């Protein structure tokens, strides 16, 4: 509760927050009476206490994001984003957003959370707007009924509410996150699900989709490592929408690159997502007709290529160490979480073995491709670099997951866990220096 309480106190300086009914502990002890302001004194009284019900149910904000206000936020996002503007002009008229946004006024608790997020975690709010739009557009491209498309949109708008309850010190860390930090962050999924389950009248399909937005069709997601047959359609659409936004914001936006560059990354991850959704995303982005920028050119190409070649050996060694660590224990252990980790290493092998990154002589392969295809070396190197960045992402992700598996104590066989832990000792150094070869 404390992070959200702190956000409310901070917000109250510009948007007064008041108590609407007596706040009591699980034991019935009165902490704060109705009509009291949520200020620094309230923070001291409430901090660390176990309340009879979630804090959000006890308070009211003086001003909430309305349906009209949300619509304006979405319109601003579309008009300031070349890609969304192109979509709106070609197939998704802005008028289609009005009936979807109108649903917001039915759910005051959702209004409260989005208002707090927009004020206290604005970067997350901007991403959330994009996830909502992507989810809606994918659902519309699938020709889902308007009510079903609206459910996907609202799942997108609420999927990260749990982040409001994650310790901001962890979210803002500049140093490497520990295994415990990652577990804490991943807990936002269950927090979001639990909060939304308490919102009166909110459709169950929205709650289920939010609970599944980090699950993957191939069983490599979390928190339950579900597979495609166990996932709802809304959850699978939301997973793709969230992934597209994450790929763009985390890897491309800061470099001034465009949404279109998400396509090859998504293509490399088809096994993890609903195939139809991936196809639709690619079609939508191609339809926008936005050109691909050239990320490296001119005299900078040789130096860029040389760095990439050096890192490629580093990534191949990292992959081999992870593969050996996870596969040496066999596959008859009956441990679902370990099977999920093994599935990821197979996914990485399948995805990248056919790419140029695993060619015996990458340098010659790059030169040959440029010659055979009649394109500039800068384009070939840029494409190879994009594949390499994606491989780095997967190796980092899997390494963290192995760390968390070891630390969780949930392994079915302690002997197998010990063998994996021993094997992982050879891998931990890669996480310390992920972008460069080890000395």
β-bridge partners, 227:
218
Q: What pLDDT score does 439 carry?
A: 30
In this predicted structure, the answer to whether residue 286 has a pLDDT above a threshold of 80 is no
Rounded Cα gap, residues 351 and 345, in angstroms = 10
CA atoms lying within 13 Å on the CB side of residue 35: 0
Q: 78-137 pLDDT, tens per residue?
A: 988 877 887 777 677 788 899 999 999 999 999 999 999 999 999 999 999 999 999 999
For domain 67-287, is the CATH number 1.10.3210.10? Answer: yes
Q: What pLDDT score does 352 carry?
A: 72
In this predicted structure, the answer to whether residue 195 has a pLDDT above a threshold of 50 is yes
Q: What pLDDT score does 106 carry?
A: 95
Q: What pLDDT score does 263 carry?
A: 72
Q: What pLDDT score does 97 carry?
A: 93
Rounded Cα gap, residues 221 and 225, in angstroms = 5
CA 380 to chain centre: 29
Length of the chain: 439
Rounded Cα gap, residues 127 and 344, in angstroms = 26
In this predicted structure, the answer to whether residue 316 has a pLDDT above a threshold of 60 is yes
Q: 51-64 pLDDT, tens per residue?
A: 999 999 999 999 99
The set of long-range contacts for 422-428, using a CB threshold of 8 Å and a minimum separation of 24, is 423/321, 423/324, 423/325, 423/326, 423/328, 424/325, 426/321, 426/325, 427/318, 427/321, 427/322, 427/325, 427/399, 427/402, 428/399, 428/403
Report the percent of the chain where pLDDT is more than 90.
Answer: 47
Highest mean pLDDT, choosing among 88-97, 151-160, 370-379: 151-160
3-state class (DSSP) for residue 23 = strand
More confident residue, 310 or 7: 7
Can you give the pTM of this predicted structure?
0.77
Q: What pLDDT score does 208 carry?
A: 97
Q: 158-194 pLDDT, tens per residue?
A: 999 999 999 999 999 888 888 889 899 999 999 999 9
Report the percent of the chain where pLDDT is more than 70.
Answer: 83
Lowest mean pLDDT across 79-83, 204-208, 255-259, 366-370 = 366-370
Average pLDDT of the segment spanning 291-318: 66
311 C-beta neighbours (distance < 10 Å), count: 20
Q: What pLDDT score does 438 carry?
A: 34
Confidence of residue 239 (pLDDT cuts 50, 70, 90): very high
Q: What pLDDT score does 367 carry?
A: 57
DSSP-assigned states of every residue in 58-92: GEEESS---HHHHHHHHHHHHHT-HHHHHHHHHT-
Q: What pLDDT score does 355 carry?
A: 64
For the chain, what are the domain ranges?
Answer: 2-61, 67-287, 301-432
In this predicted structure, the answer to whether residue 217 has a pLDDT above a threshold of 50 is yes
């Amino acid at each position: 509760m404390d992070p959200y309480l702190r956000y409310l106190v901070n917000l109250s300086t510009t948007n007064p927050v008041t108590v609407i009914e007596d706040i009591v502990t699980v034991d019935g002890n009165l902490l704060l009476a109705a009509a009291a302001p949520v200020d620094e004194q309230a923070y001291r009284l409430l901090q660390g206490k176990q309340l009879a019900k979630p804090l959000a149910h006890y308070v009211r904000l003086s001003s909430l994001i309305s349906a009209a206000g949300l619509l304006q936020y979405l319109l601003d996002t579309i008009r300031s984003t070349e890609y969304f503007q192109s979509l709106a002009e070609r197939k998704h008229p802005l008028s289609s957003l009005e009936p979807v946004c109108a649903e917001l006024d039915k759910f005051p608790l959702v209004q409260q959370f989005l208002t707090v997020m927009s004020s206290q975690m604005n970067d997350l709010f901007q991403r959330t707007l994009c996830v909502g739009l992507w989810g809606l557009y994918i659902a519309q491209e699938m020709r889902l009924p308007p009510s079903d498309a609206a459910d996907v949109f609202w799942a997108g708008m609420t999927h990260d509410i749990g982040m409001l309850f994650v310790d901001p010190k962890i979210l803002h860390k500049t140093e490497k996150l520990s295994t415990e930090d990652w577990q804490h962050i991943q807990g936002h999924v269950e927090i979001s699900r639990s909060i939304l389950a308490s919102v009166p009248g909110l459709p169950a399909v929205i709650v289920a989709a939010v609970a599944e937005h980090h699950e993957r069709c191939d069983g490599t997601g979390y928190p339950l490592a579900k597979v495609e047959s166990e996932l709802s359609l809304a959850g699978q659409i939301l997973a793709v929408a969230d992934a597209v936004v994450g790929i763009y914001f985390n890897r491309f936006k800061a470099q001034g690159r465009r949404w279109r560059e998400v396509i090859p990354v998504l293509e490399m991850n088809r096994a993890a997502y609903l195939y139809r959704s991936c196809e639709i995303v690619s079609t939508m982005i191609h339809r926008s007709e936005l050109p691909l920028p050239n990320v490296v050119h001119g005299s900078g190409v040789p130096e860029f290529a040389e760095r990439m070649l050096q890192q490629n050996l580093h990534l191949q060694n990292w992959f081999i160490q992870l593969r050996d660590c996870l596969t040496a224990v066999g596959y008859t252990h009956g441990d679902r979480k370990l099977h999920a980790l093994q599935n990821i290493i197979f996914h990485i092998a399948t995805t990248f073995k056919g790419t140029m990154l695993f060619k015996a002589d990458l340098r010659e392969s790059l030169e040959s491709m440029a010659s055979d295809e009649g394109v500039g070396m800068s384009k070939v190197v840029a494409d190879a670099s994009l594949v390499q960045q994606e491989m780095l992402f997967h190796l980092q992700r899997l390494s963290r997951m192995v760390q968390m598996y070891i630390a969780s104590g949930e392994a079915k066989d302690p002997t197998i866990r010990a063998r994996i832990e021993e094997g992982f000792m050879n891998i931990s150094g890669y996480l310390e220096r992920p972008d460069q070869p080890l000395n």
